[in-house]
Amino acid sequence: MLDLGSTDRSRAIALEYGARLYGGAFADDLGSLRDAFLSRTTSEWILCLDADELLDEPQVERIGAFLPSLPADVWGVRIRVRDGQRPGSARLGGHEVRLFRNRSEIVFQLRSAEGMDCSISRLGGRVMDSEIEIVCASVPDRSPACYRCRHTRLKLLHLDLADRRDDASVLFALGKHHFRHGDFFHAECFLNDCLQRSRPGEAHYRAAALALIESHLGKEEPCRAAEVAEYVLKQVPDDGPFRAAVRQLVPSEGGRP
């Protein structure tokens, strides 16, 4: 467990359950802290969770059954991250690589956004989707010294954007951040940019499309949501799970090609 200065009983509880505990000082680069933590791990696979995310017992069992069946060239697994405060919505954030092989070459490449896809692809590994699900609970804004603070997270994302202006993962993370805080205008700007810089079928394309549809629905613009749904469905004629997720949001698209 990597602790960045918690003030509750997190450290004591982790130690009670036998966790190995490491501390760190947050200084505008969460990726480097995570990479330092990864260098201390000894297991074959690594699962990354934040303090406000939940993984229940059935999901743990699903992971245990899933990993032994993976081919050797699969180095990462995308897990669905669901917003626990919006149970009726699609899973904003889509699939994120939170489960990956313990290889020294696989590292976080961004200050804030999850950046494992690019690292794994660059090394020639494959990433697979899964039905494993994490539930993200809502937490209040905290001190600006905490990376979970809304304003701190936005600062990190813009630092990443300055370095990687065309990186789809950064654009999506910014769109997701604004969406979660009700700023649909900026959310849609970044999500549209993400779609333009992703290929149909890629993880960021699928996630950005679903979030963009949700954003229009959040603004009570069902016609615009239907337009986006119709457009993206034409781009991915063979992606059954993605088409089902789109139609869950916009059922009227069910009969369209």
Per-residue pLDDT tens digits for 133-146: 888 876 555 555 56
Contact residues for 113 (Cβ-Cβ < 8 A; gap 6+): 157, 160, 169, 170, 172, 173
The reported pLDDT for the residue numbered 237 is: 87
Statement: residue 115 has pLDDT above 80 = no
Q: Residue 30: which CATH number?
A: 1.25.40.10
Mean pLDDT of 32-55: 86
- Burial group, residue 206, by CB count within 10 angstroms (0-12, 13-18, 19+): buried
Statement: residue 72 has pLDDT above 90 = yes
Q: What is the pTM of this model?
A: 0.75
Statement: residue 91 has pLDDT above 60 = no
Statement: residue 118 has pLDDT above 50 = yes
Statement: residue 192 has pLDDT above 90 = yes
Mean pLDDT of 68-77: 93
The reported pLDDT for the residue numbered 185 is: 92
Q: Sorting pLDDT into bands at 50, 70 and 90, what band is 71?
A: very high
CB 21 within 8 Å of CB 11 = yes
Q: Which single residue is written with the structure tokens 């997720």?
A: 245
The reported pLDDT for the residue numbered 86 is: 60
- CA dist 157 and 99 (Å) reads 22
What is the span of the domain harbouring residue 98? 2-255
Mean pLDDT of 176-182: 85
The reported pLDDT for the residue numbered 226 is: 92
Statement: residue 111 has pLDDT above 90 = no
Mean pLDDT of 55-81: 91
Amino acid identity at 207: A
In this predicted model, which residue has the larger pLDDT, 29 or 16? 16
The reported pLDDT for the residue numbered 160 is: 92
The reported pLDDT for the residue numbered 238 is: 87
Tally Cβ neighbours within 10 Å of residue 92. Answer: 19
- Burial group, residue 51, by CB count within 10 angstroms (0-12, 13-18, 19+): middle
Question: For a pLDDT cut of 90, what percent of the chain falls above it?
Answer: 29
- Which tens digits make up the pLDDT trace of 196-249? 998 887 777 888 898 899 889 888 999 999 999 999 999 988 888 788 888 888
Count structural domains, the chain.
1
In this predicted model, which residue has the larger pLDDT, 191 or 38? 191
The reported pLDDT for the residue numbered 199 is: 87
The reported pLDDT for the residue numbered 249 is: 87
